Structure 1
Amino acid sequence: MTMLLLAVHVLAAIVTVGPVTVAASMFPPAARRTLAAPGDPGATGTLQLLHRICRVYAVVGVVVPVFGFATASRMDVLGSAWLTVSIALTALAALVLTALVLPAQTAFVEGGGTVRQTARLAMFTGLFNLLWATVTVLMIVRPGSTTGL
C-alpha cells in the first residue's frame, strides 16, 4: 500500500505541479508580448490559456500534499526534519502561487498589467519555481533519513 501511495503522490506532483510551473513561467514573456501588441487577440488568448492552466492545476494540485501526508504516515516519517521543511516550503509555494502569482496574472488577463508588473510577476514565478525545486530535492535526497544519501 505504501508503494501505491508513493507512486500516486509522485505522479500527482508531476502531472499537477509541472504544468503550473511551465505555464506560470511562460506567462510573464507572453504578458510582455501582449503589452507590446495591444489588441492582438492571439496574445490575449495565450494569456487567458496560461492563466487557466495555472488556476486549474493549482486546485487539482491539492492532491499532492494529501497523498504526501498519507505516504509519510504509512512510512512513519511525519516527524522527520526533511519532511517538516518540505511541508513548510510547499505551504509557502502554495501561498506565493495563490496570493502573488495568480492575482498578478488575473490583472493582466483583465487588461490591467504594466511592463513593470511583468518583472514583479516573473520574480514571484521564479520564487514559486525555486520553492518547488527545493521541495523536489528534499523529497529525493531526504537528508538524515536512513535511506537517504
Structure 2
Amino acid sequence: MTKVLLSLHVLAAIVAIGPVTVAASMFPAAVRRADLAQMRTLHRICRVYAVLGLAVPVFGFATAASLGVLTDAWLLVSIALTAVAAVVLAYAILPGQAAALTAEAVPARRLGMVSGIFNLLWATVVVLMIVRPGSTTGA
C-alpha cells in the first residue's frame, strides 16, 4: 500500500504543482506584455491546479504515516515549507494575478519575485523528499 500512496503523492505533485509553478512564473512576463488573454489563462491554471494540489499533502501524510516517518525532521521541514508555499500562493500570487487582471497597478516585478520564492520553496521540498537527511535507505 505504501508504494501506491507514494506513487499517488508523486503523481499529484507532478500533475498539480508543476503547472502552478510554470504558470506563476510565466504570468509576470504576460503582465509586462499586457497580454490579457494569456494572463487569464495562466491565472486560471494557477487557481484550478492549486485546488488539485491539495491532494499532494493528503497523499503525502498518508505515505508518511505508512512509512512511520511522521516525526522525522526532514518531513517536518518539508511540511512547514509546503505550508509556506501554500500561503505564498493563496495570499500573494493568486491575489496579485487577480489584481493585474482587473487593471489594478500590480508590479510584474513583485509577482516575479513572489513566484520565484514559491518555486524555490517547492524545489527545496523536492530536494528534501529525495535526499531525506538521516534516511536509512542509503538513497
Alignment of 1:1-149 (within 5 A): 1-34=1-34, 43-114=35-106, 117-149=107-139
Distance 2:16 2:126 in 1: 14
Scaled by the length of structure 1, the TM-score of the pair is 0.91
User: What is the deviation of 1:6?
Assistant: 0.2
Scaled by the length of structure 2, the TM-score of the pair is 0.98
Indicate conservation of the 8 Å contact 1:23/1:51, yes or no: yes
Q: Helix, strand or coil for the counterpart of 1:145?
A: coil
Distance 1:84 1:13 in 2: 17
Q: Which runs of 5+ in 1 are unaligned?
A: 35-42
The percent of aligned pairs where both chains have the same amino acid is 64
User: What is the deviation of 1:68?
Assistant: 0.1
Q: Helix, strand or coil for the counterpart of 2:16?
A: helix
User: What is the deviation of 1:5?
Assistant: 0.2
* Deviation sequence 1:97-141 (CA, Å, 0-9, x none): 000011000011111134xx1111111000000000000000000
Q: Which runs of 5+ in 2 are unaligned?
A: none
Which residue identity lines up with residue 41 of structure 2 in the other structure?
Answer: L
Number of equivalent positions: 139
Query: In angstroms, what is the RMSD of aligned CA positions?
Result: 0.8
